[in-house]
Structure 1
Amino acid sequence: MLWDLFPDGVQIAVGDPRAGEPTGYPDEEAHVSSAVPSRRSEFFAGRECARKAIADLGFQPTVIGVHPDRSPIWPNGLIGTISHSSTLCLAAVARQKDDALSIGLDIEPDSPLPEGMWDTICTSNERTWLDGLPSGQSARQALRIFTAKESAYKAQYPLTQEFFEFEDLEISFDGHDFFAMLQRSVPGFSRGTKLRGRQVIYNGHVVSAVCVNSEQFKKGAGS
C-alpha cells in the first residue's frame, strides 16, 4: 500500500519511533542531546529509516545532518522526507531527477480532527465542503485536508525555502488522490499551481505524500 504513494524509484522504510537507538553519528546525536527521551527516540528512528531507504537505493548509509530550520540534510543527489507519530515512523528517499525534484510525507493517527481546528486549517471553500458532508464524515475529512497540506508543504519547502500558512494551500480530492493548489505565488511556483498527492490508510494512520516534478517547479516562476 505504501508503495502506491510515490512514483517508481522512491524507497520507503518503516520503523517504530518508540524503539529508536543512538545512531552512532555524533553530529546527529548532538542535535538531540538535550531533548527528552521520547524526542530522541523518534529522531533516531527517523534517521535509521532514512538510512534503510538510502541503502535500498544502492547508496552507502551516511550521516543525515540537520539544517538550522531543523529539516534533514540529504546526501548529494538524493531527496527525502521523514514523518512520524508516537507509534509509527516513515521515511522516503529517492534520487533527485526531473520527475522527482522533491518529496513530502506526512502521517497522522486516523482519528477525527476537532472542529475547533477547522477554521485554522481550512480555506473558506474547504470549510464549505466540510459543512456539506453527511454527519460523521466531516471530522475525518478535515484530518485528510490537514495531512494533505502538511505533505505538500514539506514537498515544496526544499525548493522554495518558503514557510506556508494553512490558507496558502487549498485541497481537493479525487478518490485516494488529492491536489494541493497554491493560493499565492512563491519562487518556482505560480499561484494556481496544483501539486498532486496521494493518501492511504496504513496501520491506523492517514499517510499523505506529494512528489514535485520539473513540470510543476519552474525556476523564475512565481517571483
Structure 2
Amino acid sequence: MTDNCRVVVLLSGSGTTLQAILDQQNQYCYQVVGVLSNRPDAYGLERARSAGIDTRSLDHKHFPSRESFDLELMERIDKFKPDLVVLAGYMRILSHAFVKHYQGKLINIHPSLLPKHKGLHTYQSALDAGDKEHGTSVHYVTEELDSGSVVMQGTLNITPADTAKTLEQRVKVMEHYLYPRAIDWIASGRITVEDDVISLDKKPLGPQGYRISEKSIASTE
C-alpha cells in the first residue's frame, strides 16, 4: 500500500477506537476517508463528523436479510475506494459475500489472545478459565469468526484483583495504542501476508503475530 492508504472504518457504538485511530493518523501513513455505521445514532458518527470525515449510516433493521444489507453496505463503502476496511466495534456478523469482497484488506481487533476466547464476553471467559494473561488481537477477517491471521497482540498479566470491568479498561488502553500502529504497518507495507503467514519487514511472525506487553506500551507513553 502507499503513504496515502485510504481507510474506511465501520462501527456500531461510541467510537472510542475510531477516536484513537483519528488522533494518531497524522503520525502514520493512513488516512480515514469514511466512517459507516449500522446504527444511525452511533456516537462514533459524530466523532467522525467533528473530525471532518465523511459519514454514512445504514440501519440494518430496514433490510430483509443480512445478505441484502451487506450488499448495500459494500456499495457505499466502495464509493470511498478504500485500500483497507477497518472494523472498530462493528457489532454485526459479516456475510460470506462481504468477507470475500474485501478479502485481504479487512481487519478487526478482538479483545482476547486469539485463538483463545472467540466471540463475546472475553474478559469474564478469561477469568472463568483461570488464565494468567489476557489481551487483544488485531487480525485479518475471514469467514470463520475471529479466526483470521493475527497481525499483532497486546498482552497483560491478570492480577488477583482483576474483574471483567478492570480487564476491559486495561485492554482498551492497549487497543488504542495497537490498532493505529497495526493499520500503519499494513498501510506502509511492513506487514505482508502470504499463504496466511504474516510477515513484518519480510520476516515471518508466529501464529500470534507481533506481540507487545502492557508494560512495554506504558513505557512508550
Q: Give the TM-score normalised by the residue count of structure 1.
A: 0.34
What is the TM-score normalised by the length of structure 2?
Answer: 0.34
